[in-house]
Structure 1
Amino acid sequence: MKNVAVIGASGYTGIELLRILSNHRYVNVNQITSRQYKGKALKDVFPFLYKSKYQDLIFTEDIDLEKSDIYFLCLPHDASLHITKSLKDKGKIVIDLSAAYRIKDKSVYLDYYNFEHPYDDLLNEAVYGLPEIYREDIKKATIIANPGCYPTSIILALYPVVDKIEDIIIINSLSGISGAGRHLKEDFLYPEAFSNAYAYSVEKHRHTPEIEFILSDLSKKNINIRFIPHIIPVSRGMLSTINIKINLSKDEIIQIFKEKYKNEPFIRISDKPPRIKEVAGTNFCDIYITEDKKTGLITIISAIDNLGKGASSQAIQNMNIILNIDETEGLINYSIWP
């Protein structure tokens, strides 16, 4: 039984971790932190977790670097950057849900995240936590760079054929509002967000280099994408529509996907366009493939929960792999419908 800390436990990803870990049989959460709620019990801050086995845990402001074996970091990028270093020095396992260790190119951090990355050795050591691709590396890792939600939905939809793509990849992704985090911002207030939808960061989105880096690494060639994210008026969920030029038929591509993912418990190849309601609250990624005869483009559509497979449940999947327990422990559940 390993002891687990959730650092930054009052944000959406931290809350989701606690919800899932409440039903996990092989770990014990013994530390939760939050500046905002320090001194308060979990059940008093989040009543929906009343009767959870962790309901009486008290939020602390400070992190005890000795108390736990595994640390989930649900923090801003620059904070995770340095805390990871401190935890690594203590011999702890770190699963970082920020972007602080996802990309090996240090120059990206200053350009896209406004900080300089000082830890070359840790950056090189960190493993990108996408289990369907890097499972063998994850098994031996002590620092996991948990992928972003947009990159997860996109990379899983391209991985089986990325080495065969012939041209620039065009991607439009739709995200629930929770992807922006649990803080006050005018655009996410109910009167602003309800019955509204819009593109943002159209010229330059910080997930673009993460996606390009991983796809280039997988394909062994330089991959460029045109990525445009959108906010839609739902709490959670993510839908990515990807158009590619490739010298394969739809049926050939479907067969490649089915073969590549045949042993993956959380990938479902669908015969109809997926819906975010079908994956909300789960660790599933649903993928649909079709072909436009007029243009010759192949369209791939993927759906995930941005807080689940796009963040917290994927982090737990990574933990399960590191602990060499059933990869699906605590994660086999189905969406609430409708």
Structure 2
Amino acid sequence: MEQALRVCVYGATGYTGIELLRYLSQHPYVKVVSVLSRTYAGRYLSDVLPSFFNTYLSKIPLTEEPQEDFDLAFLCLPHEISLNLVPELIKKGKKVIDLSGAYRISKKELYPEFYGFEHVHEETLKLAVYGLPEVFRDSIKNATLVANPGCYPTATLLGLYPFLKEGINLDRVIVDAISGVSGAGRKTAQHFHYPEMEQNIMAYSVEKHRHVPEMEDVITKISGKSVKIRFTPKVIPASRGMLCSLYVQTSEKRLKDLFEETYLCEKFVKIIHEPPATKHVIGTNLCLIYPYYEERTQTAVIITVIDNLGKGASSQAIQNMNIMLGMDEATSIEKPALFP
């Protein structure tokens, strides 16, 4: 690129914002010109996050409003704030990658039930492209607004996509998922305090989770069919990482071939031959998938792992940005895991 892309990050001091800045600080074709944080406005980034001392972002001031003009905005904001900010930015000619859930579901009537607000920007919602590159890469290329997927949907949909791509019927899908605590965000909550979370595993939102309509909506987009998902999320006492076990009733037995053919040319989705661990993906944009067929119950079992802050959020957002700009989509995010 002849000129660096000017980027603004809204909500930069939450976990997804921090992870975004970590990758962006090493991106050769991007210049972060504004870093927004209401909580820490008036301070330098390195004062709040010393890990950025040796980057050019060290002395960028944290502000409440953009300090320079920019080309693209990343929104790491609460859903209801992104809802109204996105149309304003698009009217100003900006490209937007929204990491909230405000534009992920295409059906506006589902937002009151699952997000607690009426979706009042129907025309903007129609512009949104779901940012799962391995599935919607061609649409992302020309997008003005990318709705970055949720972490659970990313791990689940990548595990189901080979079936959907081949038109294999999915009558019943069960998803049993675990996530590190960072998936709940940086704001404090009593049940995530150390004494309550340490040595504890907690199921939550079992009866109704906002990621379920997101997953079902995308499945319909891909396959044209309606599939119901039984989803049970759990939080474990780990900072980050996500493991999803998917159970699909099917007679399709050639799982290894099916998955390897689907993801043969993908840089960030890899099929492995023994069960994965979250340690294999922490700090990366990888999704590792272990599929096998259980003859006894005629069930396809697919285990996927991602970093909920990486492929489940921030590094995937940068992958989307790279695609939107026509550059190598692995730019600045092709890194090995932090191990052990």
Rounded to whole Å, the distance in 1 between the matches of 2:169 and 2:55 is 47
Q: 216, 234, 237: which is aligned to 2:238?
A: 234
Equivalent of 1:208, from 208, 212, 216? 212
Q: Contact between 1:165 and 1:244, CA under 8 Å: does it hold in 2?
A: no
Q: CA deviation at 1:155?
A: 0.2
Residue by residue over 1:75-132, the C-alpha shift from the partner in whole angstroms, topping out at 9 and shown as x without a partner, is 0001001110100000000000001111111111111001111111111111000000
Structure 2 CA distance for aligned equivalents of residues 258 and 336 of structure 1 = 25
Q: Is the 8 A contact 1:153 1:285 kept in 2?
A: yes
Q: Secondary structure at the match of 1:240?
A: strand
Instruction: State the match for 1:196 in structure 2.
Output: 200
Aligned equivalent of 1:59:
62
Residue matched to 1:174: 178
CA distance in structure 1 between the aligned counterparts of 2:170 and 2:161, rounded to whole angstroms: 14
Aligned to 2:248: 244
| 1:72 paired residue number | 74
Partner of 2:5: 2
For 1:119 and 1:183, how far apart are their aligned partners in 2? 27
Instruction: State the alpha-carbon separation in 1 of the partners of residues 222 and 323 from structure 2.
Output: 21
List gaps (5 residues or longer) in structure 2: none
Q: Following TM superposition, by how much is the alpha carbon of 1:246 offset from its aligned partner in structure 2, in angstroms?
A: 1.4
Residue 44 (str. 1) matches residue 52 (str. 2): no
Of 310, 313, 325, which aligns to 1:311?
313
Q: 1:39 to 1:166 in 2, by over 3 A?
A: closer
Shift of 1:294: 1.5
Q: What amino acid is aligned across from residue 188 of structure 1 in structure 2?
A: F
Q: How many residues align?
A: 335
Instruction: After the TM superposition, list the runs of 4 or more consecutive aligned residues in structure 1 that deviate by more than 2 angstroms.
Output: none
**2:85 aligned to which of 71, 75, 83:** 83
* Aligned residue in 2 for 1:258: 260
Indicate conservation of the 8 Å contact 2:36/2:66, yes or no.
yes
Equivalent residue, structure 2, for 1:118: 120
Shift, 1:274, TM fit: 0.8
- Indicate if the aligned counterparts of 1:164 and 1:247 stay in contact, CA closer than 8 A: no
1:18 to 3, 17, 21: 21
Counterpart pick for 1:282 among 276, 281, 284 = 284
Aligned equivalent of 1:327 = 329
The residue that corresponds to 2:229 in the other structure is 225
Root-mean-square deviation over aligned CA pairs: 0.9
Q: Give the superposition deviation at 1:272.
A: 0.6
Whole-Å separation in 1 of the counterparts to 2:198 and 2:25: 32
Mapped contact 1:166–1:245 kept (Cα < 8 A):
yes
Structure 2 residue matching 1:174: 3-state secondary structure: strand
What one-letter code is carried by the residue in structure 1 that aligns with 2:137? R
TM-score (norm 2): 0.97
Is 2:187 the partner of 1:164? no
The DSSP-based 3-state class of the residue aligned with 1:218 is helix
What is the TM-score when the length of structure 1 is the normalising length?
0.98
In structure 1, the gaps of 5 or more residues are none
Name the SS for the 2:176 alignment partner. Answer: strand
3-state SS of paired residue (2:102): coil
SS of 2:138's equivalent in the other structure is helix
Give the conservation status (yes or no) of the 8 Å contact 2:78–2:100.
yes
SS at match of 2:319: helix
Deviation at 1:168?
A: 1.3
> CA-to-partner distance for each residue in 1:12-67, whole Å, 9 max, x for gaps?
00000001111100000000011110010011100011111111100001245x71
Quote the offset at 1:198 in angstroms. Answer: 1.3
Is 1:300 aligned to residue 302 of structure 2? yes
Following the alignment from structure 2 to structure 1, what is the Cα–Cα distance between the partners of residues 144 and 190?
38
In 2, Cα distance between equivalents of 1:253 and 1:31: 46
**Aligned with 1:164: secondary structure?**
coil
1:220-268 Cα offsets, whole Å, 9 max, x none, are 111101000000110000000000011211xx22111111111110011
Q: Using the TM superposition, give the Cα deviation of residue 165 of structure 1 relative to its aligned residue in structure 2, in angstroms.
A: 3.1
Distance 2:127 2:227 in 1: 23
- Same amino acid, percent of matched pairs: 49
